[in-house]
Amino acid sequence: MTHFLPLLFVGVSLIWGIHCLFSDGYLLGEVGNLLYNKFPKYITKPAFACPPCMSSLWGFMISVTVYGFDIPMCILYMICLCGLNFIIKELLYD
């Protein structure tokens, strides 16, 4: 449990890094636009378009890698990661 907070930092960094890479004007911005227009939002948002939404997909992958299939820890990690990403998004975009 002592590595829970540093792992949240890793998750937030990974999610915002992926989100940034696929945004307009960045390295994979054109790919992001192509994927965003080609696939429905329920696929693009958890993959790269919405940091709080990305917490479900990427948080699951991180938590399963670290905690295995300890479902309560995975759910707790994803909820905390979503909340932290939501707070960051609100601070950045408001």
* Domain locations along the chain: 4-93
* Separation of alpha carbons 83 and 40, rounded Å: 24
- Are the beta carbons of 49 and 41 closer than 8 angstroms? yes
pTM here? Answer: 0.90
67 CB neighbour count, 10 Å cutoff: 17
Torsion angle, alpha carbons of 59, 35, 40, 89, to 10: 50
Tens of pLDDT along the chain (94 residues) come to 678 999 999 999 999 999 999 999 999 999 999 999 999 999 999 999 999 999 999 999 999 999 999 999 999 999 999 999 999 999 998 7
